[in-house]
Each structure stands twice: as C-alpha cells, then as structure tokens.
Amino acid sequence: MDRSIRDLESFLEKHLSKSRYLHSINVARECVKLAEIYGEDAEKAYFAGLMHDVCKELSFNKQHKLIINSQFEIDEIEFASKPLWHAIAGAVFIRDEFGVTDSEILNAIRFHTTAHGGMSRFEEIVYLADLISIDRDYGDLEKMRELAYSDISEAMREAMAYSILSSVKKSVYLPRQTVEAYNNYLYAKGNNIEVKIKEKQNGKYKEA
C-alpha cells in the first residue's frame, strides 16, 4: 500500500456520508488508544479502524460482487444477512484497491461485525474500537469502555453477550462466527476460574 493516511482519509471523505466518515475517524483514533495499551502497532491499527466501513454505503449489488470474489469462507447465514456483507466486501476492497496483504488487517476488517473464535489481539482491538468509539451511544457504553481499557478479554466476552442479545431481540440471524466467539470467550473465562480454584485448593493461590 503506497497511499498516505491523509490520502486515505480524503478518499473516505469523498466516498462516505459525513456521519460515516466521522465514525471511521473516531474508530481509527480509538484503535490507536487500544493499540498503545495492548502493545500493538498503532499505525496499522489506525489504518484498519479508518477503513473498517469503507464499503458500508455501497449498494448491496456492489457488495455482492466483491464478496463472491472473496478469499474468505462465507457461510449461508452471512449470505442471508445483507447487513453483514460490508465487512467482507471491505476486506476484499482494500486488498484489491489498495494492495493490502497483511492478514491481520484483512481479518480485522472482515470480522469487525461478527467476530470469530480465536481472534488475535489486533482483531479484538478493531472490534472493540468500533463498539466504543466516541460517537456511540447505548446503555452500557461506559462499562464497555472501562473494560476495553483494562481487560480486553473480559470486554470481548461482554461484547459478544451484548451482540447476541441484541440480535435475539431483533429476531435476526446469529452468524456461526459470533456464537463461536462467545463460546470461546466464555470458556476462557470459566477455565480461568477453574484454574484459580484448583490452585487455591492446592495452596498455590492466595487471595489479595
């Protein structure tokens, strides 16, 4: 990729609505905050956050043309859920249009809506940055921000629960990847508790 960040921002400003463009800038800045907290590449995180919704406002016909040429596995639930298409289309777009080959960036954009089991720390950062950016407004937002800044794994577990509950309330499909992500984070939390209990029983764990 040989375009400067300013060039990319100008590209988005021309191709997105004002509100979507501002959201993209906000998510990019949030990505940098989280990257600095968790030791990831801040410049790369800014780019991924900036471009995560690059195809959000494309017509579904154009999104479809992009995703059928995708290198990603797409299951039938995703094909049936048009609002999910933009994430896959966005990853394909930046690969083809901007020459991006970094798999972490591509995966972070591809899964920024659904998440998936076994996410990398970089992918978690982009996912959460989208959820807690300054333009967001929902009931547990401050709690989610606090978790994101202090315990990213716990933040992801809460985010998965929030996402699934929201989908159930709206009676929309639950992508397989989202369910796998929830199970992944829930298992990790439960397994960690079990380890602490066993260590305490064996005299190896002391409460603070």
Q: Which residue has the tokens 């039938």?
A: 76
Residue 95 domain-assigned (yes or no) = yes
In this structure, what token pair is assigned to residue 60?
Answer: 């579904």
Query: CATH number for the domain including 186?
Result: 1.10.3210.10
How far does the chain reach from its first CA to its final CA, in angstroms? 49
- State the Cα–Cα distance between residues 60 and 58, nearest whole angstrom: 6
Residue 61 domain-assigned (yes or no) = yes
- State the Cα–Cα distance between residues 97 and 88, nearest whole angstrom: 14
C-beta separation of 152 from 34 below 8 A: yes
Chain segment 124-136, per-residue pLDDT in tens: 999 999 999 999 9
Chain segment 154-189, per-residue pLDDT in tens: 999 999 999 999 889 989 889 999 999 999 998 876
Rounded to whole angstroms, the maximal C-alpha distance in the chain is 62
Residue 206 domain-assigned (yes or no) = no
For residue 187, the enclosing domain spans 5-201
Binned at pLDDT 50, 70 and 90, residue 107 comes out as very high
